[in-house]
Amino acid sequence: MVKSREPLVDGHGREIGDLRVSVTDRCNFRCQYCMPADGLKWLEREEILTFEEIERIVALLVSMGVSDVRLTGGEPLVRRDFPKLVARLAAIPGLIDLSLTTNGYLLERDADALVEAGIGRVNVSIDSLQRDRFFQLTRRDSLDQVLRGLAAIGRHESIRPIKVNAVALRDFSEQEAVPFAEFARDTGYQVRFIEFMPLDGDHAWTPDDVLPGDALREIIHAVHPLEPLPREPSSTARVFRFADGQGEIGFINPVSEPFCDDCNRIRLTADGQLRTCLFSLGETDLRGALRSGIDDDGLESLVREAVWRKELKHRVGDPGFQQPARTMSAIGG
């Protein structure tokens, strides 16, 4: 019997219901907006949370009101025996939505096992539908394999919705807008453009690199008219449907349209650090506490203290903004 605890609330009155769990910092791609061409220094194996440690933290947070858990990386499917972790988490009473974000490279191999283990939703990151441009951005000639993985998970009707994430970069993604819109219309997948954020490994981000979601929406609307859908509470995406009813497309605009006011998300890094914002400059060490023998009540107190200090907003674009030392691959999307 899982002990039910008081809801997890931050100092601004926001109730936390969404947890992003990075299971590894390793990745088999080298996307330009995420890490340098020669990669990053990976964490040592003993620094990474075990499946048992992840399960314990997730179970505690679910008992405090977290209902949605998304598994991320790095690339989560490079973690050995990853479907076994999915099965352990899917069995936690009270966990309503267990989802995955992946680059899709290993999805053809793992799709059946993931569904059997209990994954509920999948997001696949694809930044271009053209082989040469996909290679330009990811530094991997793997578009065909990723699309096969997307098709493999798409054959499972229990996995809905399936979303395709594309990072929006100025002077690149303008050419991708209409092809992705037509991909969404043809397949039923919800394509979502995500504004480029200052979390790149080269620390070369500038505001000029950001292609605002509204600019992409205007390009698409001129060819395939769009109608807005109501924004769900705490949703990161502004979703539009095609006016003829043939599919949906979304825009995640953390730079041009921050959605911090009702943010209900926290993050757990692969090495067991609790982060209350993608752009947090501080972290809370849960791994050290676990390995020192802390009990669940003590762990709950540690989490509550950290979450109470959750940032009101991310401050990207504000004077004096500091990019965190961790890159996206070391945080988890």
Cis-peptide, bond into residue 225, ω within 30° of zero: no
Predicted model pTM = 0.95
> Is 235 a member of any domain?
yes
> Is 9 a member of any domain?
no
End-to-end Cα separation, the chain, in angstroms: 32
d(CA 186, CA 170): 25
287-295 contact pairs (CB < 8 A, 24+): 287/47, 287/49, 287/53, 290/53, 290/56, 290/57
> Is 7 a member of any domain?
no
The per-residue pLDDT for range 76-88, each reduced to its tens digit, is: 999 999 999 999 9
pLDDT of 206 = 85
The per-residue pLDDT for range 202-250, each reduced to its tens digit, is: 677 788 889 999 999 999 999 999 999 999 888 999 999 999 999 999 9
> Is 10 a member of any domain?
no
> Is 65 a member of any domain?
yes
pLDDT of 1 = 52
pLDDT of 298 > 90? The answer is yes
Report the domain count for the chain.
1
Structure tokens at 90: 């899917």
Mean pLDDT of 267-285: 95
Residue count of the chain = 333
Domain that holds residue 324: 18-331
161: CATH: 3.20.20.70
> Is 127 a member of any domain?
yes
| Sequence-separated (6 or more) residues with CB below 8 Å from residue 77 | 102, 105, 106, 107, 109, 110
